[in-house]
Each structure stands twice: as structure tokens, then as C-alpha cells.
Chains A and B, each alone.
Chain A
Amino acid sequence: MPETTYIDAITQAMSEEMARDERVFLIGEDVGAYGGAFKTSYGLLDKFGAERVIDTPISEIAIIGAASGAALMGMRPIAEMQFLDFITCGYDILVNFAAMNSYLFGRACPIVVRGPAGGGTHGGPYHSINPEAMFLNRPGLKIVAPGTAYDAKGLLKAAIRDDNPVLYIEHKYLYRRIKENLPDDDYIVPIGKANVRRRGKDLTIITWGAMLYVADDAADELAKDNVSTEIIDLRSIVPFDEDAILESVAKTNRVIILHEAPLTGGAGAEFAARIAEKAFDYLDAPIKRIAALDVPTPYSPPLEAAALPDKTRVLQAARELLAY
């Protein structure tokens, strides 16, 4: 059986959900005839027709607004952002309308807003954002960020079936680099549940998205020194799996939070605070955060590499914690 890439897992999830439920449709820029800027929706127009795979003008607020209206009328729209950097143009309708609707008017607004995020592809400041932090503080919106093909498919299906608006963050670096054997049957990955990617006892790395693979590399390196690293793949940022985090911290007592977005005000700050509040007595060393520098992602490849977290920085932090 051929392996499925991360991007094909996304396409499969949309295709299967559209086949399963006729209320599901896709709306976005170039999603139809062109098949999506990254070919995420390749083939869907032929399969489901122009009424369910809708090309729009370049207006994120129109895309999210139309999707939200359709959702209130009983549809299950998937709104694609060509790059998640541009979601800021639709920010208002997403956070002030879609996210609040069920609180204000008692009616859920079940849209999925998805699109490519993340750096490492030399996309520069307008095509590399990791946007989770600016939505973290807006109740009503769920946020997921898969790092594997299995989760990419399972979480997208869960997001489409969820009655709340869900921001689905795809990491474009992983689109064609990650391949896995996926099950044939219809499965979902529950939102809000972390995955213990690797079990260990000396140190916990909490991470998600493309940083999973940085954590893997660091853990392999640490294993050579007999350090056993636990890697928690958070997968869902809102709601996040607090139990999984606290259990792991209670076991290893040393924790690194690793994310690709900039450090200051990043999602890691919330997790660190939660650990300090709820697992203080289990800490044998300070909580460490590794994140991008507080700069826009540079175009220049060497500068981009310097701005984003890498194995070297994880190893340095790990060794500091282990020696603490």
C-alpha cells in the first residue's frame, strides 16, 4: 500500500468528508480549477463540482464571512487561506463573529478555516507565519496543528464534524516531506487530545507541528548519552491536553516547550504558566521555552535558519536542564 503524504492526507480528509456529508464544501482562492496553490484541493472540483468547490476573489474577509453565513444556514464550510499569514485580513469576522456566535446568539458557527503555515521553506515574512498565539486568547475558536499525516487527516475530519469554528493549521514544510501508511477506514483524531510521541523519563519536550521532527532529532542525540526524552505532540492548541502535560511533567520533572512561533507571547507562555500553576511541586528545574527569535521570519536562508529553533538549541537547553 502506497504511503500517503501529509498534503494528500488533507485532500483525502476533505474529499471523504464531502462525500460523506453534502453540507461540506470548500471555498477559497484558486481552490477550484487550479487545485489550490499547493494542490491541496487537486481533483476536488472534478469530483464535487463548482457549487461545492468555490473560487473567490482575493478577499479573506469575504471567504470567512461567506463561510460563516453558510454555516449559520446549516452548511459545513471549509474556508481555505492561501497562506495563513493573510488570515489577519479575515481576523475580525473570525474572532468577533464566528468565534462568539454561539455565546452571543446560541447558535454554533461550524466552519473550518485552514491553510498553510510555518517556515523553513524560505518563504519570507509574508509566507511563514505560525499564527496560533493571536487566536489563543479568543474564546470560542478551537485550534489544531497536526504534525503527522495520520493526524492531518484525522484532525481535519474531526474539525469538519465539530460544531465550533476550528482553525486548522497545516505546516507547509511537512506537505510533501512526511509520508505515512494510513488506515483505510474512516477515523478521526479527537480535538484536545495530545499524543505521547515518544516515552521517556528524564526530560519532557512539549511541541507540535514541524517542531516534532526537531524534537525527534534532539531526542535521538540525547539517547546517545542515555538520556531518555519524552515527546508530547500537543496536536491541539485550543483546547489543549493539560492532563497529558501535567502527567509528563510529574514523571520527568524537567520540561522544554518548543514552538516555531516567536517566543514573546507565544503559546508556550500559556503552557509554561499552566505548569507553574499546577505542577510547581513537580519541577526540579526551571521551565525552558525554545521558540523563534522575536523577529519576522527572514527571507535569507541563513538568517531564517538562525531565527527558527533547531536541534542545537534544543540540545543546549536540554543539557542545561539535565545539569541543573
Chain B
Amino acid sequence: MATDVVMPQMGESIAEGTVSRWLKKVGDKVERDEPLLEISTDKVDAEIPSPAAGTVTEILAKEGDTVPVNAVVARIAAEGEAAAAAPAAAPAPAPTKPEPAKPEPEPAKPAAQEKPAAQEKPAAEAAAAPQEPAEAEVTSLDERRRTKSSPLVRKIAKENNVDISQLQGTGVSGRVTKTDILEFLQQPKPAAAAAAPAAQPRDRATAQPRGPQFAAGENVRIEPLSVMRKRIAQHMIESKHTSAHVTTVFEVDFTNVDKLRRRHKDDYAQRGVKLTYLPFIVQAVITGLREFPVLNASMDENSIVYHREMNIGIAVALDWGLIVPVLKQADELNILGIARAVNDLGDRARAKKLTPDDVQGGTFTITNPGIFGSLFGTPIINQPQVAILGVGGVKKRPVVVETDEGDFIAIRSMCYLALTFDHRLVDGAVADQFMARLKETIEDGQFTM
């Protein structure tokens, strides 16, 4: 029996995935659980292991193809039956498994109202996925009109990287109509306007994507955006549209932390953990968040959502983009626990082994441009959080130290910490008090190792 390889469901709300790379080709032998392909979804990139041992007889989704969850992407024939399976005329790549449950319209059922009652997840999780109103259980016709709009609008949205759920529709049930999305695309956007001085009014009917237009043959190389790149672009712009970004920068003396780190480095290494500055910063952030919980919060139009858990997102730069795995309940870990978890998340991010759960539920984020030599950055908030800490490079600098015996110049390990906060919810005074507490904690260097 040939075994079907299907696009796995990488998270509840995920309906499709993109084949980013095939690690085997037709005719290759493959062991059970041996990596077979790499996929990319709205949430994570992952390596998919082969469900069976045998020979790859068919590959039904090309690299770059986006297919629904459960669609068959390849077939594996067991030893000895490869020849029998091969002549089968290439079947249409239609999913042979039932599509994800397609509920019948049930206009009488107020689905939207039932959700809160059924929602028993902690607020943190509920707030963590605001970009996904189209959960799998959506059933009402109204809801589907809002989220699916029409084939034409979906096509225009895809071509222009627009999330239609973020637009206000004027059609039936609040549906985004062709006119709505074209008007949205016509609105000048600062970045697009600068990049496209030649942008001119278009005939709406042609529904061309706006922005700079390049044709093959010009002195450019054109490649399609990866799923990850599209999501990053979307999230960054959404965040800029959502929050009132303000950045405050503190200079922090890391000398004591540096001493501590050097003292324990080898000991940690023996336990298989690489000790960096990051665990100390995470713990200092936790101290600060305990005192100023408004920085560990989210907000909507009418309320502030204080998160009980302190789940710290750690931005990890990848060769092919950026991902922010989340260190869950970081407040319950000591330096060793944090260091181990941070190592693990970083390793798995680079190996594309993160699970959807690993990238959800963050309540505060730390990003570390310093490792590339940056003095400090002004990071963009990771929605729906309200603050993000950017860590500059730790560098020895001459510093004036004031003591009872008088002032003198010393060589100290210094670092700029930049906090971007959402001024809608967090006032400057609170943000700076938080940063002062952070600075004090780091400079004191009283960490339990």
C-alpha cells in the first residue's frame, strides 16, 4: 500500500501550508521519520518527516505551492511495490481526504455570541491571536462573508498583501467589496508613496497592485515573497498602525553581570548551557514587570488585559527571516532554567523545529540587535503586546564613577537598553520607572545562579 504524505495541520487555525523545499525527489528512498520536506505556514516553518519507509513515487505539490491542510503532497511506496505504484497516471492534486470541515450555513445560529462562553483559555492566549478572526469553527454566513469576501477581493488582497479582516467593509454583513479594497489600496501609505513616486491613478476596474512595478528584463531580480516575509511585513505594518510607538533609551552598566557570567560560564557549559547576557536581562525584565504590570498587558478599545503569565518572546534572527519563539512562564525560572530554554528555542528556531505553540502567547518581547554591533535600536512592538525591549551591544567604555572618595574614570561594560512602549496604554513616566528598575536590577547583579 502506498502511503500518502499530507500537509499537516500546524495549529488549529491554520488551513494551508506552503511547500518550501523538497528534501527528497521522486525515486529517492526514504526512512520512516526521515525529513522529507520543509513547509512554511502562517505561524511556523517546519520540517516534515516521512510517515513511512519506502520510495517516493509521486510528488504532488511543487516547491512554492500552497495547499490545504490534509492535501496529499507526496506518496511513498513500501519496498517492492514502487514499480507497481509508479505507472499510475499522475492524479489530479485534488485532496483525496475530506476538506477541513466545511460547515453549512446556519443563519439561525449566532456563532459569534457563543464563542466567549466556550472560551476558557486564559486571556493571554485569547489576546495572542487577534489577527485570526477566521478560526476554524466559524460557521455563520455573516462571518464568512466578512472573512472570505469574494473571489475577486481575495485575489486583489493576495496580490497586494492585504489582510481583508483588517478592513472595514461596506457590503452585506460588513463584507469588504471590490470598491472597499481598491479604495484602501488607493490611500497613500507613507512608505509606498516614497517608493513609488510614479504611482498614478489607475482604472479601478483593472485592479492592478499598486506600488513600484518592475518588469522582468529590467535591471532587477524578482523573487516571490516567502510566507514568513509576508507575515513579517504584515505584522510590522499592522503594529505601526495600531500602537503609538515611543522609545526610551537607558544606559546600563553590565560590569557586575559580566563578572557573574564569566564566573559561571564554564560551570554552565558543563551542563550543556551557553550562558549569555540574555538570561540576566530576562530576569531583570521579570522584576520590572512584577512592579509595573501594565507593561505585561494588552489593550482593546474598552479594556486593559493584564496577563497573569509572563511569557517572554525572544526575537531570533534567521538567515531567511525572523521568528519570535516564546519563553513560557519565564517568571518561574531561575537563570539556569532561562538560559537553557533560550538556548533551546534558538536552536529549534534555526533548525525549523519550532511548534506552533512555541510562537504563541507572548506577553513581552526582547530583541537583541546588539549582537550585530548596534548601539541601540527602536524596535517595533510585537502585537498585541505593549512593549518591547531592544538590547544594544555590551561594550567596555570609560565611565565616570562617583564614590565617597571622589569621582574617577573607570572601564565598565556598558550597554544601551531601548524600550519601545505603546503610549496608548503606557505613559512615559511608567515606562521610565520600569527601565530604572531594570537598570538597577542589572547593575546590582544580585542574581541567583
Contact = CB atoms under 8 A, between A and B. Distances in A.
Contacts of A251: 205
B155 interface: yes
A283 B205 contact: no
Interface in A273-287: 280-285
Contacts of A285: 150
A255 B205 CA distance: 14
Contact of B171 (A253, A283, A323): A323
B322 interface: no
Contact of B151 (A252, A281, A323, A324): A281
A285 B172 CA distance: 10
A186 B205 CA distance: 38
B205 A284 contact: no
Contacts of B151: 280-284
A64 B151 CA distance: 47
Interface string A251-279: 11100000000000000000000000000
Contacts of A280: 151
A201 B205 contact: yes
A119 B441 CA distance: 90
A283 B152 contact: yes
Contacts of A201: 205
A284 B156 CA distance: 11
Interface string B164-187: 000000011001011000000000
A251 B152 CA distance: 11
Nearest to B171: A324
B19 interface: no
The secondary-structure label for the interface of chain B is helix
A293 to B, nearest CB: 25
B312 interface: no
Given A201-B205, A252-B205, A281 B155 contact: yes
B153 interface: yes
Contacts of B177: 284, 324
Contacts of A283: 150-152
Contacts of B171: 323-324
A280 to B, nearest CB: 5
A284 B178 contact: yes
Contact of A323 (B152, B155, B172): B172
Nearest to B145: A324
Given A281-B152, A285-B150, A324 B205 contact: no
Interface in B80-110: none
Q: Which of B151, B155, B172 has the most CB of A within 10 A?
A: B151
Contacts of B172: 323-324
Nearest to B152: A284
Q: Which of B150, B153, B172 has the most CB of A within 10 A?
A: B150
Contacts of A282: 151-152, 155
A324 B175 CA distance: 8
B154 to A, nearest CB: 8
Nearest to B154: A281
A300 B154 CA distance: 48
A200 to B, nearest CB: 11
A323 B171 CA distance: 6
A253 B152 CA distance: 8
B272 to A, nearest CB: 53
Interface string A282-299: 111100000000000000
Contacts of B152: 253, 281-284
A201 B152 CA distance: 15
Q: Which of A251, A253, A284, A324 has the most CB of B within 10 A?
A: A284
A252 B177 CA distance: 12
Interface in A30-64: none
A253 B175 CA distance: 15
Interface in B43-100: none
Contacts of A253: 150, 152, 178
Nearest to A254: B178
Contacts of B153: 284
A282 B205 CA distance: 10
Interface string A302-313: 000000000000
A225 to B, nearest CB: 15
Contacts of B154: 281
A146 B68 CA distance: 46
A227 to B, nearest CB: 12
A201 B204 CA distance: 10
Nearest to A276: B151
Interface in B138-153: 150-153
Contacts of A252: 205
A251 B178 CA distance: 11
A282 B155 CA distance: 8
A324 B154 CA distance: 15
A251 B154 CA distance: 16
A198 to B, nearest CB: 16
A283 B156 CA distance: 11
A145 to B, nearest CB: 29
Q: Which of B152, B171, B172 has the most CB of A within 10 A?
A: B152
B183 to A, nearest CB: 14
A251 B171 CA distance: 19
A252 B204 CA distance: 10
Contacts of B155: 281-282
A288 to B, nearest CB: 14
B83 to A, nearest CB: 37
A198 B152 CA distance: 23
A232 to B, nearest CB: 16
Contacts of B205: 201, 251-252
A201 B178 CA distance: 12
Nearest to B175: A324
A252 B153 CA distance: 13
Nearest to B150: A284
A281 B172 CA distance: 19
Given A253-B152, A253-B178, A284-B151, 16 more contacts: A252-B205, A253-B150, A281-B151, A282-B151, A282-B152, A282-B155, A283-B151, A283-B152, A284-B152, A284-B153, A284-B177, A284-B178, A323-B172, A324-B171, A324-B172, A324-B175
12 contacts: A251-B205, A253-B150, A280-B151, A282-B152, A282-B155, A284-B151, A284-B153, A284-B177, A284-B178, A323-B171, A323-B172, A324-B175
Which 4 residue pairs of A and B lie closest in terms of their CB atoms, listed nearest first?
A284-B178, A284-B152, A281-B155, A284-B150
